[in-house]
Amino acid sequence: MSTQQEVKNMKADIAQIKTMLADQLEDMPANGNNKVMVVRDELQRVANQAGKDVRAFFSTKGKQLGDTKVACETAIKDRPLTSAAVAFASGMLLTILLKRK
CB neighbours of 76 closer than 8 A, spacing ≥ 6? Answer: 83
- Rounded distance, CA 86 to CA 63, Å? 26
pLDDT digit string (tens) for the chain, length 101 residues: 666 777 777 777 887 887 777 776 666 665 666 666 666 777 787 888 888 888 889 898 899 999 999 999 999 999 999 999 999 999 999 999 999 86
Helices (H), ranges, 28-79: 33-78
pTM score, whole prediction:
0.47
